[in-house]
Structure 1
């Protein structure tokens, strides 16, 4: 499908990504001389318009990375809550989006990183576990990597798990998932943060951690 709107220099575009008959709205922004592209994999109840993800995306672009923010499910699909937690479905769809991205002229040849939140983090890790995924790095923010299950051991991309210090249940799940990872991985705990990093300064801390990890590995 054609771009809805493109910037004059070709570095930014509102696009629609076709996947198995569905049409996924997306925003693709690749700054000049980008060293890589980061694909955002949103969790339940979020979208490409999420202020939290938009904030992280801005930091990444300032660091010289392109960004792709898209909706994993269209509006009709989101109404079925089973789709939101169908990690296999989400990971398969993400794989198609990655193939679409790599075929774009402005992204061709650039390494790709994944930034996942909530169930999107599980989909990112599941997709990264595929032998032909060629993912340079993964970041999970407040994610549920445990939902990737047996696919965790096959992930080869360096993985950063960011969790709020007050998000106790999710922190335990992240520690359990980290124990199954065989790739380079780190758990970073943001003190005083709950699941959505709404406390003053906590989102900024998480965003900087994500930026530094991705800027280091996605190049």
Structure 2
């Protein structure tokens, strides 16, 4: 197994990340994180650990630099957090970095984002149809990727919590704009931030099942 802290250059800043590659990994998941839940948060760590246990490599990547993270906490509007285009570019930078890493560059790639980063991974998926196997969002605001939704060509799984009706509606609204194959699934007991331990387990199980189906479909294609 490979497990290391990494630095990813993007937009003239350096982003922090944690790369974990279990033996025999069958795909790599870029887990995009932001100010609401950095890669050091409890949900982020649980998400990565569950995915690693299921045989997926993970790059847990903070889309804001440490300085930007501190500055954004001080702004009422959260300007960095909701700059979807910038966060999308930085997700693309994470993909570019993965594509030159010997241990993972040959693995199928999954993009996963929660919160504001849900829109960021959809932006990146729209830009990289030939590199991304699938994109997955957990709650958040996928609807913020307004223009990108129509351009996404890879399969998308949108996961919402049944105890967050507003986010569930926004997720369903976003799905209506997707031209690519997609599904909306609801996690029982999940609130806005998917903070509950059992919720993380359920959301990861949905994610793994979806990704395995995409991997199987790819193997069956001529």
Both structures adopt the same fold (TM-score exceeding 0.5):
yes
Separation in structure 2 between the aligned mates of residue 134 and residue 57 of structure 1, nearest angstrom: 21
The equivalent residue for 1:94 is: 91
The Cα RMSD (Å) is 1.7
* 2:193 counterpart of 1:196: yes
The equivalent residue for 1:139 is: 136
User: Quick one: structure 1 residues 76 and 208, their matched pair in 2 at CA, closer, same or farther if it must change by over 3 Å?
Assistant: same
Deviation track 1:134-165 (CA, whole Å, cap 9, x = no partner) reads: 21111111121100001101112211111111
Pick from 39, 46, 62 the counterpart of residue 48 of structure 1: 39
The equivalent residue for 1:21 is: 12
Tell me the CA shift for residue 130 of structure 1: 1.1
Tell me the CA shift for residue 114 of structure 1: 0.9
**Deviation >3 Å, runs of 4+:** none
* 2:65 counterpart of 1:69: no
The equivalent residue for 1:164 is: 161
**SS state of the match for residue 14, structure 1?**
strand
**SS state of the match for residue 41, structure 1?**
strand
How many pairs does the alignment contain? 210
**SS state of the match for residue 49, structure 1?**
coil
TM (norm. structure 1) is: 0.89
* 2:3 counterpart of 1:12: yes
Deviates more, 1:66-75 or 1:208-217: 208-217
Contact 2:37/2:44 (8 A) holds in 1: no
**SS state of the match for residue 157, structure 1?**
coil
Structure 1 unaligned spans of 5+: 1-8
Separation in structure 1 between the aligned mates of residue 56 and residue 189 of structure 2, nearest angstrom: 29
Separation in structure 2 between the aligned mates of residue 89 and residue 109 of structure 1, nearest angstrom: 26
Separation in structure 2 between the aligned mates of residue 131 and residue 192 of structure 1, nearest angstrom: 33
Contact 1:59/1:211 (8 A) holds in 2: no
Contact 2:61/2:94 (8 A) holds in 1: no
* 2:117 counterpart of 1:126: no
Tell me the CA shift for residue 196 of structure 1: 1.9
Contact 2:129/2:153 (8 A) holds in 1: no
The equivalent residue for 1:4 is: none
**SS state of the match for residue 83, structure 1?**
coil
Structure 2 unaligned spans of 5+: 73-77, 217-222
User: Quick one: structure 1 residues 82 and 133, their matched pair in 2 at CA, closer, same or farther if it must change by over 3 Å?
Assistant: farther
Separation in structure 2 between the aligned mates of residue 41 and residue 182 of structure 1, nearest angstrom: 23
Contact 1:43/1:121 (8 A) holds in 2: no
